[in-house]
A and B are shown apart, each in its own frame.
Chain A
């Protein structure tokens, strides 16, 4: 695991140290790629949910009744995320913790309810509230700009888009850009120590563009394709991270007395 470099020896640097440690702990949480795999599993779960809902008969209670469809959604997601969480804990317990050490963050409720300054502490993988707000705002703004650019590109392919109007193209382009930016933000936030993962961002950009060009007519069908593709890329980057982690770390050694 990359060590923390205390190159800043000034007082300001010393005062800023805990924030850097919070960042390091967040990065450590995804050092084995399990965070990526979990995110990918969640998206594959949504894609599976969309496919299963499509297969249900039109007058089925699981489609027509709000409460039943909610139960159906939770059931499908539980079936996907349950094993994903279990696998994650197995990897942490048998691979990550024995190789590079065990660390446990504070509970989520301590983060949310404790008075300052305890509230400024964050568990690995949990962003600060201000950080979340800025991230969402930034993603929305950048997605809007990128969507306008992509919409121009897609407009040249109007013959494949049927009767879609400009606003719809903009909407679709914005939706595709949103996913790309979310993934790019994830890589920047959680995987800064693995710059090769930006190749997956490039892969996702190309893939989403292809999805946008090939199948933009029905939004729900495109949504299933997009979540399936994004989920698969996320899981692949997680697996690649795990392989890289196994190659660059030593097998478990006995603890020091």
Chain B
């Protein structure tokens, strides 16, 4: 779900994913940590003015893995 949300965009922030997935903060953070550990996403901590902002981008490896997953599903169907 998270990867499919990141796939069509260049980058987004944590708040966008929070609204889009309707997960709670802890749950989403946990999923993002796992995706980052797997090397699929890039997490950048920055600021919007004085407010901290977490930017998320899907890496090339993440895109490749997701494309493989989609191809596999289409073949299976």
Contact = CB atoms under 8 A, between A and B. Distances in A.
B38 interface: no
Given A3-B21, A4-B20, A257-B52, A18 B9 contact: no
Interface in B53-72: 53-55, 66-67, 70
A103 B48 contact: no
A163 interface: no
A121 B7 contact: yes
Contacts of A12: 77
B54 A255 contact: yes
Interface in A79-111: 97-98, 100-107
Q: How large is the interface on A (under 10, 10 to 19, 20 to 34, 35 or more residues)?
A: 35 or more
Contacts of B13: 97, 101-103, 255
Interface stretch (A20-28, A138-146, A200-208): A20-28
B15 interface: yes
Interface string B1-38: 10011011111111111111110010001000000000
Contact of B67 (A11, A117, A256): A117
A3 B29 CA distance: 18
A22 B6 CA distance: 10
A190 to B, nearest CB: 16
A97 B54 CA distance: 12
A14 interface: yes
A173 B67 CA distance: 47
A6 interface: yes
B15 A106 contact: no
A106 B66 CA distance: 17
Given A4-B21, A255-B54, A104 B8 contact: no
A100 B19 contact: yes
Contacts of A24: 5, 20
Interface string A103-126: 111110000000001000111100
A80 to B, nearest CB: 28
A21 B5 contact: yes
Contact of B48 (A25, A97, A121): A97
Nearest to B12: A103
9 contacts: A17-B1, A24-B5, A24-B20, A98-B48, A101-B13, A102-B13, A102-B48, A121-B8, A123-B9
Interface of B: 1, 4-5, 7-22, 25, 29, 48, 51-55, 66-67, 70, 73-74, 76-77
Interface of A: 1, 3-4, 6, 11-12, 14-15, 17-18, 21-22, 24-25, 28, 97-98, 100-107, 117, 121-124, 252-257
In the A-B complex, list the 10 residue pairs whose CB atoms are closest, starting with the nearest: A101-B16, A101-B15, A3-B22, A103-B12, A15-B73, A102-B13, A1-B19, A255-B52, A17-B4, A22-B8
